[in-house]
Amino acid sequence: MNPHEPFHNPNPPEPMTEDFAALEHELRNALRPVDPPPGFADRVLARVRQLEPQSTESGQRAAEPKRARILMFPKFRTRLWIPSAVAAMLLIGFAGEQARVQIDEHRKAVEAQKQFETALQVTDRALEHTRLQLQRAGISFGEE
């Protein structure tokens, strides 16, 4: 493959259908940048000046209007509940995890106890069977 030759795609893209081309043309026209009408900036600035607070008798500006509540953060003392809530959630999570660990350990201990009791029963039966076989053979084992 020569790097100076133009790339030849063995699978050329399918030609655009007329419907797709028309849709693309409409979208380009609808989304093209448009200049604002003459005087737009002046009208916006005039409206902003109307909304600014009026000056008081002493020549000072009136108190600024309240900002949108969504942009304001509550004062620190009103946010004291946030760290408390986080601490409570962490404590509940830790306690829940500890309870789960204890339940798992208890379940494992109960299962180990059952396995131990089963092993003792099997061992007792095997020893009893061996003792009976030794008695039949005429060997007394541990009975004197």
pLDDT in tens, 27-65: 888 888 888 889 988 998 888 888 876 554 445 555 555
126 occurs within a structural domain: yes
DSSP string, 35-65: PPPTTHHHHHHHHHHHHSPPB-TTSPBPPPP
127 occurs within a structural domain: yes
2 occurs within a structural domain: no
Quick one: tokens of 97? 């995890």
Quick one: tokens of 102? 């204890």
Kindly report whether the global pTM for this prediction surpasses the value 0.75.
no
Residue tagged 């084992």 (tokens): 141
120 occurs within a structural domain: yes
95 occurs within a structural domain: no
81 occurs within a structural domain: no
Residue 105 and residue 92: Cα distance in Å, rounded? Answer: 20
121 occurs within a structural domain: yes
Please state the domain count of the chain.
1
Residue 3 and residue 12: Cα distance in Å, rounded? Answer: 20
The rounded mean pLDDT for the chain is 79
List per-residue pLDDT tens for the chain, 144 residues long: 555 555 555 565 555 578 888 888 888 888 888 888 899 889 988 888 888 765 544 455 555 555 555 555 556 556 777 888 889 999 999 999 999 999 999 999 999 999 999 999 999 999 999 999 998 988 886 655
> For residue 136, what is the enclosing H or E element?
helix 81-136
Q: Domain of residue 118: give its range.
A: 108-137
CB 53, CB 61: distance < 8 Å: yes
14 occurs within a structural domain: no
For residue 140, what are the CA distances in angstroms to 98, 130, 131? 55, 11, 8
